[in-house]
Amino acid sequence: MRPLEGQLALVTGASRGIGAATAKALAAAGAHVILVARTAKELDAAEQAIFDGGGSATIAPVDLSEVDGIARLGAAIGERWQALDILVINAAVLPPLTPVWQMPSQDLVRAMTLNVMATQALIAAFDTMLKRSSNARIIGMTSSVGQKPRAYWGAYGASKAAFENLLETYAQEVGAISNIKVAILDPGATRTAMRAKAYPGEDPASVQPPEVVADRIAALLTTGFANRHRERINQH
């Protein structure tokens, strides 16, 4: 069964972790996946894993903190394909965990640039292609700290709150005039490099692997979901 056969998907942060696992899951389901991340070497490895599994993919090394780079990415993809069916916004940065009164301004700027401004730039770059799809879906990966503030997580939490607001607003704007549906997913505790950075003493085996999240994303994209869907994948 290849339920996503013939569909075009773009996954950001696709070089490792949840992004790479999601790209592999979507390719296994039949989608052609565009892998977006900064590091070409890691993208090559993810692409090869997709090829080895019988899937198809294209790598696009882009620094999403550069808005002009996102615009160029959108233009290049628009020249090759007519429509974009799936956009998974997964790339994010976790600044050092710091009290608000000691937070270096560059940490907050970095979080807002990649986690928020890049999201708006991606939407702007691919809005037209998404509207050309008969069944366009956007999935944005968030964190519980976006809605429930946590001490020392101010920069990341504020950026995720803004990220969710942007996606929710866009979902409301396009819900009645297009086929675009937007979902915001919180993966919960997942075995990623970001998680290891935030919880250095945690046993990685004690939390779910990225493939659990990827399989749920693939299932949602296969079965469908209502616009403005929200879900926490790991309930623990």
Active site positions, annotated = 156
The secondary structure of residue 9, as a DSSP letter, is E
Residue 17's region, left for phi above 0, alpha for psi from -120 to 50, else beta, is: left
Handedness of CA 104, 91, 197, 186 (dihedral sign): positive
For residues 106 and 113, the answer to whether their CB atoms sit within 8 Å is no
Give residues with Cβ within 8 angstroms of 226, minimum separation 6.
181
Residue 157: helix, strand or coil by DSSP? helix
Handedness of CA 216, 116, 192, 148 (dihedral sign): negative
What DSSP string describes 112-150?
Answer: HIIIIIHHHHHHHHHHHHHHHSSS-EEEEE--GGGTS--
C-alpha distances in angstroms, 207 versus 22, 145, 233? 17, 18, 12
CA distance 13 to 37: 5
